Amino acid sequence: MGEKSSGGSLKMKKVGFIGLGNMGLPMANNILKADIEVNAFDLSKEAMQRADELGMKTKSSASEVIENIDALITMLPNDKAVENIFLKEGLLEKISKNMIVIESSTINPEVSKKVSKKAKEMNISMLDAPVSGGVKGAELGTLTFIVGGEEADLEKAAPLFKIMGDKIFYAGKAGSGQIAKLCNNMLLAIHMCGTAETIAMGVNNGLDPIILSEIMKNSSGGNWSLEKYNPFPGVMKEAPASNNYSGGFLNSLMLKDLNLAKELANQSKSNTPMGRLARELYEELNNQGFEGLDFSSVQQNYLDK
Ligand code: NAD
């Protein structure tokens, strides 16, 4: 596995994009801004209207999106949407053999493998390429792509990854992108909960959260949540914690990823007690009605209310 700095040989002229939600629309817009035509489709009328206003060619179905394109990108909410489009609605059967398919939704790796297997049987190049970096990263074109599939196909898709992101990692064969992404997000949830829990204990014992954070950040407790995303309000001005936990990566999406991680752990008989605890904490937050807050809001449940 490694970071890709360059590569890619296909000259892309026209790309199809299905799923123009919070992530998909800004990703597609960056492609458009790179002077590549975009055929767009989403089930939501509002999303289609926004795509039209940005200058994309809106189409009335997924089948229409794939006409005369060099690459297809999908950014869909869940397993069901991906299975429906590629398998039930038979999009794979209509896709031309020289186009590359980049499936960027976060889904169960087993579903990814199933769709990729079918694509392979039909000689279609397909990558699973879930992303990290959130809506901000999608807007700024700084996403990280975590890719599974044939490495040669990654080289073909690299020009598009470089437009939408700034890091590309090759994780291994089909489904590996999803597995690596779920491993990453389970660890993210665990160190965010651990960070929130620890700062609360320090504060409950009279410490200043800013001083404590600075000490731990520069000691062996240092981690990404402390360095980039402190969950305690007022420690980092720009973090969601200092802005009423708005923006950022939602509790609902963290819970979705932790549920996928649970399925992955079950399928592989992996023992993940820390992952389970983190999932329970996020389940609690979602049940409390905080699904629309940033995931660092787990801090709230460690503080006196
Ligand atoms: P979203 O709900 O905002 O967008 C999904 C879009 O897909 C919607 O506009 C919906 O109408 C459309 N859609 C659903 N089924 C469809 C179908 N059959 N045909 C066409 N369009 C269809 O979700 P999002 O936040 O953009 O996330 C997309 C994916 O990216 C998810 O898998 C999510 O887990 C992942 N992701 C999200 C973030 C984030 O911060 N939002 C970060 C990393 C990864």
What pLDDT digit, counting tens, does each position of 2-57 carry? 443 434 455 789 999 999 999 999 999 999 999 999 999 999 999 999 999 999 99
Does residue 43 have its Cβ closer than 6 Å to ligand 1? yes
Residue carrying structure tokens 């992952």 = 275
- Element spanning 254, H or E: helix 251-267
Which atom of ligand 1 lies closest to the CA of 107?
A: 32
If you take atom 18 of ligand 1, which residue's CA is the nearest one?
81
- Residues marked active site are found at 181
The per-residue pLDDT for range 181-239, each reduced to its tens digit, is 999 999 999 999 999 999 999 999 999 999 999 999 999 999 999 999 999 999 999 99
Same domain as 165, residue 23: yes
Task: Give the pairing type, strands 143-148 and 165-172.
Answer: parallel
Same domain as 95, residue 48: yes
Q: Is 6 inside a domain boundary?
A: no
Burial 188-204 (b: 16+ CB within 10 A, else e): bbbbbbbbbebbbebbe
Using 50, 70 and 90 to split pLDDT, how confident is the model at 305? low
**How many CB atoms are closer than 10 A to CB 5?**
9
- Residue 251, domain extent: 180-302
Residue pair 282/290 in contact by the 8 Å Cβ criterion: no
The CATH number of the domain holding residue 222 is 1.10.1040.10
Does residue 105 have its Cβ closer than 6 Å to ligand 1? yes
Same domain as 287, residue 214: yes
The number of folded domains in the chain is 2
Q: Is 97 inside a domain boundary?
A: yes
The per-residue pLDDT for range 239-297, each reduced to its tens digit, is 999 999 998 899 999 999 999 999 999 999 999 999 999 999 999 999 999 999 999 99
The per-residue pLDDT for range 120-164, each reduced to its tens digit, is 999 999 999 999 998 989 999 999 999 999 999 999 999 999 999
If you take atom 5 of ligand 1, which residue's CA is the nearest one?
21
Residue among 18, 27, 43 whose CB has most ligand 1 atoms within 8 A, to mutate? 43
Q: Is 9 inside a domain boundary?
A: no
Same domain as 204, residue 66: no
